Chains A and B, each alone.
Chain A
Amino acid sequence: MRITEWLTPSNPCRQFENNEQLFQALKSLNNSAIRCVQNKAMPSAKKLVEQYKLAPESVDELLNQSSLIFLRKIEDGSYQFQGHAPSSYLVEIMKRVALSMTRKRQTNYESIEDHHDLHDPDIEASNRQRESAELVRQFLGQMGEPCTSVIRLHHIEGYPDEEVVRQGWTRYTTTDSLKIKRSDCMKKLIQIARQWRNTNNI
């Protein structure tokens, strides 16, 4: 290893030969792929923060929120690979998020009228998802163990059932018993959510 390589952070993009490979890795939420597109988009994020006169510390928030939208769009299939660099799509999302952040910061409604995109469907969907995530977090807290762990390990952290059983992270020693328990817990979670919706007239 050369000394310059040893002294600089490793380049996460190195393992992807082309944009398609990178896109496929992003679909499976590969950590290096996410770091790769974030690193590529970081200079643009800094520029946008300056351009939209946002606080310098909001660079991370901008990148994080944009990455959430970007990954959600890859997951639900609304963003398909068309040969372009995925990072350029992330930069496009960042521009809209930066604009939205500027709107939020402004208190003068007249100046908001100057902006064309008052309602960005992607940002609204992202906000909705964030609200749902917060609710589910609350519901999981209400359920307690073992449902919290069983749901968290599969649906949030994405571990395969075989590994959960092998590592002994829950009391269930077979994948079948784990699946049965998870199904039972999910039904309870949905019922809690349904009750909450009824209570709040949603």
Chain B
Amino acid sequence: MEKYEQYLSDNADNDERRAAAQVMEGLAGLRLEAKLREVATEQAVQHRRTLWRRLLFTLAALAFLAAVAYWFFSKKDARPSVPPIEKQAPSSPSPTKKQTPEQNKSEKPREKPPIAQIKPKEEVPVAPDPIFPTFAVQDEVIPVPLHAAPDLVAARGQGEANAALKALLDQLWYVTYPLQGLEVSRAFSSVDENLKKRDFTAAYLELEQLSSTQATNDTLHYLQAYCLLETGEGQEALLHFAQIQNRQLARDPQLQWYRGLTLLLADKRSEAIALFNVIAANSGHPYRRQARKALKLLQ
């Protein structure tokens, strides 16, 4: 800071000196005021910054808590839909991704074969779910069946067993048309139309006529079995399924599931359970979740 004397003229009188002193005093005051204003601004900026940081931290903490709560409750909600049979089934393949580190630790390390002996794994094609293709990724969540089971009470008469079986089948009646793995030829076009309209009696009558006029084949047996299944005639449906037992068509996943339901209809519970176990154990089977549900209900 320059001294005010240097601004004074050579012959400066007292008045001029006092005026210069007052100017310098005023400038010093302005400088201090400006400095304090600057400090106050700096302080305010820092307070504002701290306030924003706290706000940001609070929001982040709330978002984290919301995420944890969502994860916790969604996990809690999903738990009842996991059928206990899956946990018990020894043959059911367990998804390795879901294993916890503790589980991994408890498992003994497998002996690794020499690299030369390792063969590339064959990719098991996972067939799309014909009933609920969008549910393929959601492991255990399956909706209720689209249609109810046939009215067994009307067909077989009053009785607790029939009512109970009807109630059980209502929960498992994942039965739809058209049939997978079956190419319906022109000869069956009318039957096909009736089945699409769910007129099973008309369809069955036409099939009966067709069986008398042409040689029986797998398609005819499967369609007849299906019609009988939908009308609650388990025993008769099984006879038609038996006709195609050793054919290629018998390996169709949908047919397997329908045969399982037919076994239940025919009161062949243990055979049905055995078949459902096979289906449930096959991780690529499109009806594995339905089979698990069936096993859970049959316990």
Contacts and interface: CB of A to CB of B under 8 A. Distances in A.
A137 B15 CA distance: 20
Contacts of A128: 25
B298 interface: no
Given A155-B1, A190-B16, A193-B19, A129 B26 contact: yes
B53 to A, nearest CB: 6
Contacts of A133: 25-27, 29-30, 33
B267 interface: no
A151 to B, nearest CB: 7
A71 B1 CA distance: 16
A10 B42 CA distance: 12
B19 A67 contact: no
A22 interface: no
A101 interface: no
A93 to B, nearest CB: 14
Given A29-B35, A67-B36, A187 B9 contact: yes
Interface stretch (B43-51, B158-166, B221-229, B244-252): B43-51
Taking residues whose C-beta sits less than 8 angstroms from the other chain, chain B's interface range is: 35 or more
Interface of B: 1-2, 4, 6-9, 15-16, 18-20, 22-23, 25-36, 38-40, 42-43, 46-47, 50, 53-54, 57
B31 A190 contact: no
- Cβ-closest 8 pairs across A and B: A136-B26, A133-B29, A132-B26, A194-B19, A193-B19, A129-B29, A186-B7, A155-B27
A3 B57 contact: yes
A8 B54 CA distance: 8
A132 B2 CA distance: 18
Interface of A: 3, 6-10, 29, 31, 34-35, 38, 64, 67-68, 71-72, 75, 128-130, 132-137, 139, 151, 154-158, 182-183, 186-187, 189-191, 193-194, 196-198
Nearest to A196: B19
Interface SS, A side: helix
A193 B32 contact: no
Nearest to B12: A190
Contacts of B34: 156-157
B38 A31 contact: yes
Contacts of B42: 31, 35
B46 A190 contact: no
Given A129-B25, A132-B25, A186-B7, 16 more contacts: A7-B50, A31-B38, A35-B43, A71-B35, A72-B28, A132-B26, A133-B33, A156-B27, A158-B31, A158-B35, A183-B6, A190-B16, A190-B20, A191-B19, A197-B19, A198-B15
